[in-house]
Amino acid sequence: GAVVSQHPSWVICKSGTSVKIECRSLDFQATTMFWYRQFPKQSLMLMATSNEGSKATYEQGVEKDKFLINHASLTLSTLTVTSAHPEDSSFYICSARARDFRDTGELFFGEGSRLTVL
Amino acid sequence: KQEVTQIPAALSVPEGENLVLNCSFTDSAIYNLQWFRQDPGKGLTSLLLIQSSQREQTSGRLNASLDKSSGRSTLYIAASQPGDSATYLCAVPGGYNKLIFGAGTRLAVHP
């Protein structure tokens, strides 16, 4: 199947700093990537849809100035948590759909990035 | 608004048992349904994708069925093994490429 890679897999930072998380599609091009957030023992909640070459579309209640999303190429989307606070500590997961012969409607997910803000 | 519910929330069974995990959704107008596995602290691994025109899909010891009219899907795990221990999530499309997830079933298979 198609491979999605996230980096870093975990990060610890001080309150007030910014953290960038990368999401890459390794063997396919992804015009659209999705960022999810997951709290402990809860399901995934979609934060935003990242569109290559254009602005991201944020879900209701998600602060666009807090969670900056950039999708500069067909294989890379980044999520930057700005001025992070302890309540931003969470597990962030990206996903993408393969826009080629493997396009069956299936979404592929990265391994996730655990953010801990002290 | 689409809502996805998974029952049971948690399940603990001895090795070798056959299991059934349930997923229900409120809006039957879906074009596919996906089952995922999530290990603790990890991302999601896609297990099975069922298109709306299909009734079931099989992969090894896993079999997923879909009944759109009743808004239900089941994931059947045959001859469970300790390595099957994980959280199992079902998800349906909630818009263009968006997925709506259930809360998951946490499965523990003990030797």
SS3 state of residue A108: strand
pLDDT for B84: 97
How close, in Å, is residue B43 to chain A by CA atoms? 4
The region of weakest confidence among A5-14, A66-75, B17-26 is A66-75
Say yes or no to pLDDT of B77 above 70.
yes
What proportion of chain A, given as a percentage, has pLDDT over 70? 92
Chain B nearest CA to A85, separation (Å): 21
User: What's the token pair of residue A112?
Assistant: 């996730």
Sign of the alpha-carbon dihedral angle for A6, A96, B72, B15: negative
Please report the pLDDT score of residue A104 as a whole number. 64
Q: Could you write out the three-class secondary structure of B18-57?
A: CEEEEEEECCCCCCEEEEEEECCCCCEEEEEEEECCCCEE
Greater confidence (B110 vs A108) lies with B110
Three-state secondary structure call for residue A16: coil
Contact call for residues A108 and A102 (beta carbons, < 8 A): no
Q: pLDDT band at A115, cuts 50/70/90?
A: very high
In this prediction, residue B107 carries a pLDDT of 97
Report, as an integer, the average pLDDT of A4-21. Answer: 95
Average pLDDT over residues B83-108: 90
Query: What is the model's pLDDT at position A31?
Result: 79
Measuring CA to CA, which residue among A58, A52, A62 is closest to residue A32? A52
Burial class from Cβ neighbours inside 10 Å (0-12, 13-18, 19+) for residue B110 reads: exposed
The partner residue sitting opposite B32, judged by closest CB among A6, A105, A110, is A105
Subunit contact B97:A107, Cβ cutoff 8 A: yes
pLDDT tens profile B33-74: 999 999 988 889 989 999 888 999 999 999 999 999 999 999
Query: B83 φ, ψ to 5°?
Result: -70, -10
Average confidence score pLDDT of chain B: 93
pLDDT of the residue at A81:
97
Does B110 score more than 70 pLDDT?
A: yes
- The pLDDT, as a whole number, for residue A38 is 93
Which of B42, B49, B104 lies nearest to residue A105, judging by beta carbons? Answer: B49
Identify whether A8 is preceded by a cis peptide bond (ω within 30 of 0): yes
Q: Hey, of A36, A44, A91, A113, which one would you mutate to test binding to chain B, going by the most B CBs within 10 A of its CB? A: A44
pLDDT at position A11, please? 95
Question: How far is Cα B27 from Cα B97, in angstroms, rounded to an integer?
Answer: 16
C-beta of residue B10 within 8 angstroms of C-beta of residue B22 = no
Distances in Å between the Cα of B40 and the Cα atoms of A25, B43, B44, B86 are 23, 8, 10, 7
Q: Sorting pLDDT into bands at 50, 70 and 90, what band is B20?
A: very high
Neighbouring-strand partners of residue A21: A79
Nearest-angstrom CA–CA distance, A46 and A63: 13
- Position A103 pLDDT exceeds 60: no
CA B30 to chain centre: 15
DSSP A31-83: SEEEEEEE-TTS-EEEEEEEETTS--EEPTT--TTTEEEEEEETTEEEEEE-S
Give yes or no for residue A20 having a pLDDT over 90.
yes
Instruction: Tell me which chain A residues have a C-beta less than 8 angstroms from the C-beta of B104.
Output: 43
* pLDDT for A51: 83
CB distance B21 to B104 below 8 Å = no
- For residue A6, list chain B residues with Cβ-Cβ distance below 8 A: 43
Is the minimum CB–CB distance between A28 and chain B shorter than 8 Å?
no
